[in-house]
């Protein structure tokens, strides 16, 4: 057979990554903290399928979100029939897609299972996919760590999801983060006050959501290209500037106009969260928009000093579950972005020392049978040690060099004399000290350093 004329790339697809040992260990460290904290708040786990029906996903994220869905083509026979039809439609080609987030699948689950608790507190840690343009800290496949409460409009629920996320960040070592908070109805009032027509409200909010990425001039330019008059766009940003002034939220709440109720609603969230982990971090930010269209009330986002973009966000979505059934069920949630958290922690050197690889490499001379080496390794693993057995029997220097390369702190040298005596030669690869130790005492000696 002729050789292939084109080599196959060994890189993963753009925006997706391989995770080697050090990466996986760091991810496990963060996820262990997330899971422990979420469960300490009373949230229970949920996992949903990677693939959802397109009818579940479409129309929940807004026009831009719909464009970022990964669609799955039909199986061969059905696809061939679809391609033969005129016209060829999107749903004719695909009726399933990869999940875009974890909130819409949750809404489907709550609508589908009638025996869930009336107040359902769930957490979910799974990957999601978006056909987006990759950038630093942004990927096409990434993990979200969600907490949500369904079945109540109480601001205790809003405070709890904010508190759980704030506690995670604290336990990971973050000290300079803020939880920005706004209200979608406040934003609607700001948009209307600027003279922007109601039919362009969604367009204005999508552009406003990019303020921290493209700046004021970028937002003004996008608003103008979307058909919003320059004067109205300028007035919107000026209105938001005025809303930033100290005491503005309290003034809105004290009035009787369209801003009063959402302002009081947001202040109630602040009051509920005051004595919890999120209390000191919650800050009113009138420019916060959150681009997803399903939000209905308070919205949140994590801002970290010196970081462009956020570590996560969320909000209240009281009408989303009702899209899957006849009953409207209120809900609120917060999503922590694992990839962004990992990136910042790595850049700042925030990870504690994490064990990677074996503690002990078992080296042997040729006169030791493989079965005997594995018997000793099994005994050491029973003592709780992480043990790797060097598979071959080259010179001892090569085996010790490999031990250093994989980060083992100790090498255990096994020969026929040691087997007969029930001992091993234990070499500390950091100090160079080597001692004879009974097999039963190896773990004690390793842990003593």
Q: Assess contact for 373 and 364: CB atoms under 8 A.
A: yes
Q: Is the CATH code 3.40.50.410 the one for domain 21-50+99-348?
A: no
Q: Assess contact for 296 and 273: CB atoms under 8 A.
A: no
Give the separation between CA 83 and CA 75, rounded to whole angstroms.
Answer: 12
Give the separation between CA 405 and CA 395, rounded to whole angstroms.
Answer: 16
- What lies within 8 Å, CB to CB, of 276 at 6+ separation is 159, 160, 162, 163, 166
What tens-digit pLDDT sequence spans the chain (449 residues)?
Answer: 445 557 899 999 999 999 999 999 999 999 999 999 999 999 999 999 999 999 999 989 888 888 999 999 877 777 677 777 767 666 668 889 999 999 999 999 999 999 999 999 999 999 999 998 877 667 999 999 999 999 999 999 999 999 999 999 999 999 999 999 999 999 999 999 899 988 888 888 888 888 877 888 898 998 888 889 899 999 999 998 899 999 999 999 998 889 999 999 999 999 999 999 999 999 999 989 887 778 999 999 999 988 877 899 999 999 999 999 888 999 999 999 999 999 999 999 999 999 999 999 999 999 999 999 999 999 999 999 999 999 999 999 999 999 999 999 999 999 999 999 999 999 999 999 999 999 999 999 999 97
pTM above 0.75, yes or no: yes
Give the separation between CA 311 and CA 447, rounded to whole angstroms.
Answer: 37
Helical H runs in 45-129? 54-57, 63-67, 76-84, 90-93, 103-112
Q: Is the CATH code 3.30.420.40 the one for domain 360-447?
A: no
The pairing of strands 177-183 and 282-284 is: parallel
- How far is C-alpha 92 from the geometric centre of its chain's CA atoms? 33
Copy the structure tokens of residue 76: 């061969």
Phi first, then psi: give them for residue 10, nearest 5 degrees: -95, 5
Give the separation between CA 305 and CA 178, rounded to whole angstroms.
Answer: 8
Length of the chain: 449
3-state secondary structure of 15: coil
For the chain, domain boundaries? 21-50+99-348, 360-447
Q: Assess contact for 150 and 120: CB atoms under 8 A.
A: yes
Provide the terminal-to-terminal Cα distance of the chain, rounded to the nearest Å: 58
Q: What value, to the nearest 5°, has the Cα angle with vertex 41 and ends 40 and 42?
A: 90
């Amino acid at each position: 057979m002729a050789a292939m004329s084109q080599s196959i790339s060994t890189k993963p697809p753009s925006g997706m990554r391989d995770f080697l040992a050090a990466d996986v260990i760091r991810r496990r460290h963060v996820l262990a903290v997330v899971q422990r904290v979420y469960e300490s708040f009373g949230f229970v786990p949920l996992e949903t399928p990677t693939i959802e029906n397109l009818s579940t996903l479409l129309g929940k994220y807004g026009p831009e979100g719909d464009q970022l869905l990964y669609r799955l083509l039909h199986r061969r026979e059905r696809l061939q029939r679809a391609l033969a039809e005129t016209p060829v439609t999107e749903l004719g080609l695909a009726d399933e897609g990869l999940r875009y987030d974890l909130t819409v699948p949750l809404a489907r689950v709550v609508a589908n299972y009638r025996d869930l608790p009336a107040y359902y507190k769930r957490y979910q840690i799974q990957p999601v996919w978006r056909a987006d343009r990759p950038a630093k800290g942004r990927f096409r496949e990434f993990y979200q760590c969600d907490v949500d409460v369904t079945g109540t409009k109480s601001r205790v629920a809003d405070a709890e999801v904010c508190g759980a996320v704030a506690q995670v960040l604290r336990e990971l070592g973050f000290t300079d983060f803020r939880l920005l908070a706004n209200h979608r109805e406040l934003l609607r009032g700001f948009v209307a006050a600027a003279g922007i027509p109601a039919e362009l409200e969604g367009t204005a909010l999508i552009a406003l959501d990019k303020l921290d990425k493209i700046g004021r001039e970028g937002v003004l330019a996008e608003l103008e290209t979307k058909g919003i008059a320059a004067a109205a766009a300028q007035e919107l940003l000026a209105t938001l500037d005025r809303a930033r002034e100290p005491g503005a939220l309290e003034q809105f709440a004290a009035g009787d106009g369209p801003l009063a109720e959402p302002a009081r609603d947001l202040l109630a969230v602040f009051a509920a969260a005051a004595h919890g982990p999120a209390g000191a971090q919650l800050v009113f930010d009138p420019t916060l928009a959150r681009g997803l269209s399903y939000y209905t009330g308070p919205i949140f986002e994590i801002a970290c000093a010196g970081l462009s973009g956020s570590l996560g966000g969320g909000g209240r979505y009281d009408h989303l579950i009702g899209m899957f059934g006849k009953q409207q069920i209120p809900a609120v949630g917060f999503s922590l972005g694992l990839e962004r958290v990992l990136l910042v922690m790595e850049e700042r050197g925030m990870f504690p020392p994490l064990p990677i690889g074996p503690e002990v490499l078992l080296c042997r001379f040729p006169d030791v049978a493989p079965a005997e080496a594995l018997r000793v390794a099994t005994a050491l693993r029973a003592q709780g040690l992480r043990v790797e057995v060097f598979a071959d029997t080259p010179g001892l220097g090569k085996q010790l060099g490999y031990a250093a390369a994989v980060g083992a702190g100790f090498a255990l040298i096994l020969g026929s004399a040691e087997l007969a005596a029930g001992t091993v030669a234990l070499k500390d690869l950091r100090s160079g000290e080597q001692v004879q130790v009974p097999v039963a005492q190896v773990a004690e000696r390793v842990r003593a350093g």
